Amino acid sequence: MTSPKITFIGAGSVVFTQGLLADLFAFPELRNAHISLHDIDAERLATAAAAALHIASRLGASPRVTAHLDRRESLVDADFVINIVQVGMGEATRMDFDVPARHGLRQTIGDTLGVGGIFRALRTFPLLKALGEDIAAVCPEAWLLNYTNPMAMNVQYLTQATGLTRVVGLCHSVYWTMRGLSDLLQVPYEEVTYRAAGVNHQAWVLRFEHDGADLYPRLDALIAEDEQLRRRVRVDMYRRLGYYPTETSEHSSEYVPWYLHHDGEIERLRLPVGAYLGIVEENVREYEKTREALAAGAPLHVEGTLEYAPQIIHSVVTGTPRTVYGNVPNHGLIDNLPAHGVVEVPCLVDALGVQPTHVGALPPQLAALNRAYLSMNDLVVRAAIEDDPRHIRHAAMADPATAAALPVESIWALCDDMVRAHADRLQPSLRAVLGT
């Protein structure tokens, strides 16, 4: 595979697309790749194509860049498919926050679990099914590298509903957590040895060492000295559970019942309710700045992102061995989590592709939280596969943060309102309003 074809689905997410392209073109072996861009928004697609050519020129790359409004056309003979779609964009995300807020439910990010995660998944599943059918038809040997959230639900749905097997979900949370912890302890990241595992956005740092010495005692001492560090959810969870979580405090607060329902905890731990709406607005501003710069012929300042997808592609193309963290069906990788669930584990990558590694059993307190997470995921996937709208409500009832905040009749009423809000994006069988 001397000149791979790499298809971007949702390439109109221009800022993220630019970072991935900068990473790809940083590898000499990938500078002549065929970059196939797909989006349903013609303006964003044209901006993405112009940005790709600009970045290639800056980095001395000579790719073939094609842009396609037709998804299947973009996928023909692809070797790798990078999915970065956000169905409904900012409008749907605002609904994910506004409707639950009217029912008294607080969210910070709303893209993984909870009511926001449930409906983000349900409106993404129809696209994933169609994407899977297209891949099976025109590029069945391609690796599908998924960045779209909710990661674990989407990967579970893809593997169960489409039959695709070359699917891995990619997230930067483990990498950036370890970079952050290394910086905090003033230890060079390149000299740190670590191992993490769990589920996406709720994995755990199981080993954290430097020169063979456990770094957790140094972290404990730092936390004991710094009151501000103790005012973070992930640090609070670490102190009580014994293992550091691999996602931010804003994310982590949504996956447990202990924080967002309590005003005092929101203040103590400085939780920004509704934070993701600000991120959505900033993404729009960044896209507009990119579009305007390209139109004016001004240079774009684009840096590499150190994301896993370009590293995986380089390893498969060149045979260079690497270890990345991937989200894959469990199938015995973590002994005390459900086999059908999608887990985040270290994966070896080389010319043979992505090969997940066996972790064993998690400490029981960590597995207990991860099982609750995976149980909710399973109900959402079952709702779509079994055409059962009741499972949407069952998933919300099983979600820890939602169950802590609302009585059961309010949960069902909220789900009805969310179905009404997103009805045209859901598969027809899930559009029923059930009442209580």
Task: Determine the longest span between alpha carbons in the chain, in angstroms.
Answer: 61
Is 314 annotated in a binding site? The answer is: no
Residue 345 near residue 197 (C-beta atoms within 8 A): yes
Active site residue 172: yes
- Residue 66 neighbours by CB distance under 10 Å: 16
Query: Quick check: 361 and 335 in contact, CB under 8 A?
Result: yes
Contact 125, 62 (CB under 8 A): no
Q: Which two tokens stand for residue 33?
A: 């790749």
139 known member of a binding site = no
The Cβ of residue 419 has, within 10 Å, a number of other Cβ atoms equal to 20
> CA-CA distance, 14 to 20, in Å (whole number)?
10
What are φ and ψ of residue 145, in 5° steps? -105, 105
Angle between helices 275-296 and 14-25 (to 10 degrees): 70
User: Residue 169: which of 114, 218, 128 has the closest Cα?
Assistant: 128
In this structure, the chain runs to a length of 436
Does 149 count as an annotated binding residue? yes
Looking at 34, 103, 172, 340, which residue is catalytic?
Answer: 172
Distance, CA of 23 to CA of 211 (rounded, Å): 30
Annotated binding site for substrate: 149
Annotated binding site: 149, 171, 201
- Which positions are catalytic? 172
